[in-house]
Structure formats: structure tokens, C-alpha cells
Amino acid sequence: MRKPHHRIIKTFHLSPKTLTLTLIPLLTLIFFLLIPNPKTLTPSNSKDPTTLLSPDPPRFAYLIAGSTGDGERIKRILRAAYHPLNSYLLHLDLGSPEEERADLAEFVRTEGVFTEFGNVRIMEKADSVTDKGPTEVALVLHAVAVLMREGRKWSWFVNLGAEDYPIMAQDDLLHIFSYLPRDLNFIEHTSNMGWKESQRSRPMIVDPGLYGSNKSEVFWMKEKRSMPSSFKLFVGSAWVILSRPFLEFCILGWDNLPRTLLMYYTNSFSSTEGYFHTVICNSMDFHKNTINHDLRFIMWDDPPRQDPRNLTSEHFDMILDSGAPFARTFAHGEAVLDKIDHELLKRPNGQFTPGGWCWGNSHFGRDPCAIHGKQKVLRPTMRSKKLESLLMKLLDTENFRPRQCI
């Protein structure tokens, strides 16, 4: 385990028992006991008894990325996952047609809600991104740097691809995360490399996206390298929910570890499945702030858990019971997405997922979110209980500390 040169960010570490006790039941009671008149904090014209003010809600920063033909999918994901508290960065890679990128930019520019809240933007200069190459890590780091430079406050970063979809309203996600320490990182990881040692860690590749603008596949080198001795490799899911303090460490790098590992993973296949995992688990400052789960519902091929299956209507009940806020992968236009919109998100076609910030009505097909009120008013549904149960399980004594960076 590497020791940091400087402890600039001081985090606090809670025992699993203490952390579990900070969740919804106790804090909800304390919160409302401390507020003299909770009714004054809710919209005066709100007649919905489910409207709830949690402790100050967090904010998420989203990267929603795709390639050729993914523009419409990104629009749909954005409407489904939108909340005015959050920040959203959209990216179509350099391989996508210029017309498609222009159409996505026009969509953002002309949508009244985005214009009013100013929390959605396009990455103006598209990156060249190679599938399974280190340019995928470069895109994530680029996006994080842009989101930090924007100056908006946010607590967690979420990366979504065009094949992902939210399966829970943002009000539910924000409500539950209101009770969590803001330095937790949701990242599935393990040091048990298995088949990935011979097919991921030892082989070396060259990503043409690092030096060319034409999209192509990675080149495999004949040489293979030995396993490193100055740090321990970890692998896991490329889909993460990472805290801002940890990402500031990756971007600013007051310890040289993030830069060292970035150079190492420049020649690694599927580097998004190892870079952040190896950085966080080799850092004394952050390795105790990991939860070994990516909060996605994924059906993997078995064996060897290399590629996820496309989700369909036959998986809907498992999606419903998972408690995860996101799922992947979905084929373009898959019918189960309409079912998710209708039954889980309560989102009419082409409209935003309704939440406490939406004050309008749906009469005559109108979007309730076209009229909006206070951003911090949350209206969690019973779906939030599923996420709460999942987190309680992950924070259990048997799951939390024993599964960190092993």
C-alpha cells in the first residue's frame, strides 16, 4: 500500500455499524424533530402527502457519452435522469457525424428547462474514443475536469453510456444519498484477476485514438509485461459513482500515484476496468471509502462475465427488485424501456421524469415539469425503499469493511 506524500484532504471513516445507523430511519426522525415547522419548507400549494424535505440533498454530475447513432438515446437518457440540482455533460465522440453532434447541441440549446437552470452542456471539442482503449479513461478525466471547472457544486460523479438507462427517479436517488457521507465511492473491484491477468494485465496495446482522428480498433503488441511490484492491480466494473474528493485527487494528483497509474494504463486493454479501482485501492487516503458495488443492474454472460447481456422485458421483474438506480445494457429502441418509463419513472413519452421540482399538471398531454418550483423539494416514491435496502445490505458488517480492496 502506497503512503501519500501529503494528506491534503482529510476524510472521516465510520465503522459499518455507525454508518448504517446514519441512514434513513434515525436521521429522518432527528431532522423533523429539529425543524420547528417543516411545513414552511414545502411548497405552499403542494397537496401531495409524499412530498418530503430530506437533509440538504446532494448533487450528481453526470457524463452521458455515446458514439455514432447515439444522439437520440442520449436525449432520452437525459430526460429520464434529469434534475435541476444536478450537472450534465453530454459527449458524442469524434467518430460520430458532425450533423449528429450539431443536432444534440441544438436540442440542449432550445430546451427551455435546460436554458433556465443552465446545468446541461455539450463537450464542445469531441474526444477521439476507442472501444476498450485508454482514451475511454481520458474521456472520463476530461469530463470530470470540465465539470469541476464549471463551478457548480456536486458531490458524486456518475458515468453513463448510451446503452444505460435510469430505473429510478432522481428524487429517490437524491433522497437516499442525502443520508450518506459525501466521500463514499461506489466502485466494484477485486484483486483476484483470474482470466483478466492473462488477457488484460499482461498484454500491451496501442490506442490509435491517442494520436489519430480516425476511429479504429486498438493494436495488440507482441510483448507481454510482468505484473507490477510497486502497486497492486485491481479490476472491476467500468461503471462507477465516485466522490468529488477522490476525483480531485485523481485530477490534481498531489500524490504522484494517479499520474503513475495513468501512464501504466496507457498500454492496457479495457483500462476503464482497472484505472480508478487501482488508484483508490492503493491510496491510504481513500481505500477505506469504497463500497464494492457499482449500483447498476447488469446480467452477465456466465462464464466468463466478460460482456453483459442485453436486457429485455423478460428481465423486468429482476430490474424492479434490484434496488439499483441504473441498469445496462439495453438495445436501441428496446421495448422494456417504455415499460420502465411508464411503470418505474412515471414518465410520459418525450417528457421529463416528474419530481418534487415539477409543479405543473399532465392535463392534455402537458409536461408537469414545464412549470417548476423549488429545486430541493424531493418527492421520493416507494422505489427509494429498494435502494435503501440495497445500501443497508452493502453497509452491513459482513459486506462493508471485509469487501474493501481485497
Q: What is the mean pLDDT of residues 86-98?
A: 96
The pLDDT tens digits of the residues spanning 54-73 come to 689 999 999 999 999 999 99
- pLDDT value of residue 21: 44
Query: What per-residue confidence (pLDDT) applies to 54?
Result: 61
Phi, psi at 197, each rounded to 5°: -65, -45
Looking at per-residue pLDDT, the higher value among 366 and 144 belongs to 144
Mean pLDDT confidence for 329-352: 95
Question: Quick one: pLDDT at residue 304?
Answer: 63
Cα distance between residue 93 and residue 127, in whole Å? 5
Name every residue whose Cβ is closer than 8 Å to that of residue 307 and which is 6 or more positions away in sequence: 300, 301
- Residue 46's identity, in one-letter code, is S
Per-residue pLDDT at 106 exceeds 50: yes
Mean pLDDT across the stretch 376-388? 95
pTM to 2 decimals?
0.86
Supply 132's cell numbers: 476498450
pLDDT exceeds 50 at position 44:
no
Q: At a CB cut-off of 8 Å and minimum separation 6, what does 217 contact? A: 130, 131, 208
pLDDT of residue 305: 66
Can you tell me the mean pLDDT for 367-374? 88
How many Cβ atoms are within 10 Å of 9's Cβ, its own excluded?
A: 16
Nearest partner of 274 among 247, 307, 240, judged by Cα: 240
Structure confidence by residue, pLDDT tens digits, 132-174: 999 999 999 999 999 999 888 999 999 999 999 999 999 999 9
Residue reference for cell 484532504: 9
Cell of residue 154, nine digits? 456536486
Q: CA–CA separation, 301 vs 186, rounded Å? A: 22
Given a contact cutoff of 8 angstroms between Cβ atoms, the answer to whether 179 and 20 are in contact is no
Work out whether strand 219-224 and strand 203-206 pair parallel, antiparallel, or are unpaired.
Answer: antiparallel
Q: Which amino acid is at 155?
A: S
